[in-house]
Amino acid sequence: MDSLTSSTNFKEEKKGYPIYHFERNEILILLAIFFVSLSFANFSPYAPVYLKEIFSVNSYSALGAISIITNAMIVVGTPIWGRLADIFLPKKFVILGLGSMALMYFSLIFSNSSTFFLVVIFIGFLFGSAQTGNIYALATKSTKKTKEVVLSKISIVMSLSWLIMSPIAGKIFDTMDNSYQIQMSIASISCFVSLIIIFFVKESKELEQEKTEVNSLDGKEKITDFVTPFAILIALSFVFQAASGGFWSFNTLYFIDFLEIKARVYSNFLVVVTILGIFVSYLLGKVKTDLKNASLIMIFSFFQAIIFGIMTFNPYNSVLNLIFYSVPMYPIYNISFYWVVTSLSNVKRRATAYGIFNSIGLLGIIAGVILLGIVADKTTTIISMLKVSFYISIVSFLFSIVLFVFIKKYVMARKIQI
């Protein structure tokens, strides 16, 4: 076994099926992820623009409230829902989360004020966070596939949903007078479809056995036996997400509002990101060792610093910045980061580990959004966000080097063949 975890951590036998082989549960979960990702493709990029244009909110800090609220609710909810899923199984919490998201988008259709808009998001994401980490736990533990195959397929499916929906959402935004209501309707319907699909997923006997074992542990089972690298990974997650997720929360304001790029052109940029994301996800799915995944995290962290550096020194070059910002960062987070989390965590506490990992990463996004919003408000320009993101990404790269060193140390100490 080439994982940091011992055989007791991976008691279950996972077979090395090729990526094009699908099981019934796997198909259903991937379809559910596809549809819920359609909802995010409609909502996430355009929410700050709608808040500014429809509700006349002009402060960058206030516009960042969308990202702060959504991520804060996930931070609060994900560890709680993850721990409950360890005890009661993840499927019911995935259902709760998807149902809450569907109702949230439906309620937003009738929003008539910025306060109502933000309150609905607050409630929706608090309960919607029940599916955030648990859908990964359900996916990795309800099939016979190895984790790298499952995680790469999830990333590919998420990319496909954005590939399909991004041009449609951009067209709706540019040409429809009631684009806000149309996009929220599509998001709500997509979540309802995802919810229906999840009902047909069958939780495995292995999950039932783990439920019994977790309940009998009475909290004695540790989340990880590798405290130092796990702590470093969590810290890296915070900084990495502060840079990438922090600026992502404002990127439509930068490209569409500040540089005045048409939503149609911006949607083409999302298509390019998605196509690259699918290709990168496929390649990352073939990486099957802890050390190689740690090295890829280090490489992508370096790329992120280079990208923000180029954008910082060329803030008005819309074409150049769209090209470089098209390099997708989410596959490395969704696959390689999750691989290391999975390897470092004990299987009976994996949902909890995912919850902690998600929460710290989201705290990083919140911190990044707050910092970028304050800086932009003080300097009265969104360009200052690029410089701050560049500095944060440098720190992220330094953390990734430390993670690689510790992963290598632990791997070599156990004489695990990579």
Task: Give the pLDDT band (50/70/90) at residue 7.
Answer: very low
pLDDT band at 130 (very low <50, low <70, confident <90, very high): confident
What's the confidence (pLDDT) of residue 18? 56
Q: pLDDT tens, 64-90?
A: 777 788 878 877 887 788 788 878 888
Note the pLDDT of residue 118: 83
Lowest mean per-residue pLDDT among 48-62, 155-169, 266-280, 310-324? 48-62
CATH architecture of 24-413: Up-down Bundle (1.20)
SS (H, E, C) the chain: CCCCCCCCCCCCCCECCCCCCCCHHHHHHHHHHHHHHHHHHHHCCCHHHHHHHCCCCCCHHHHCHHHHHHHHHHHHHHHHHHHHHHHHCCHHHHHHHHHHHHHHHHHHCCCCCHHHHHHHHHHHHHHHHHHCCHHHHHHHHCCCECHHHHHHHHHHHHHHHHHHHHHHHHHHHHHCCCHHHHHHHHHHHHHHHHHHHHCCCCCCHHHHHHHHHHHHHCCCCCCECCHHHHHHHHHHHHHHHHHHHHHHCCHHHHHHHHCCCCHHHHHHHHHHHHHHHHHHHHHHCCCCCHHHHHHHHHHHHHHHHHHHHHHHHCCCCHHHHHHHHCCCCHHHHHHHHHHHHHHHECHHHHHHHHHHHHHHHHHHHHHHHHHHHHHHHHHCCCHHHHHHHHHHHHHHHHHHHHHHHHHHHHHHHCCCCC
pTM more than 0.85:
no
**Segment 27-49 mean pLDDT:** 88
Kindly tell me if the per-residue pLDDT of 150 is higher than 90. no
pLDDT at residue number 28? 92
pLDDT one-digit tens code per residue, 351-397: 778 778 878 888 898 899 889 888 888 887 888 999 999 999 999 99
Please check the confidence at residue 196 and state whether its pLDDT lies above 90: yes
Mean pLDDT taken over the chain: 82
Domain spans of the chain?
24-413
143 or 55, greater pLDDT:
143
pLDDT at residue 9 above 60?
A: no
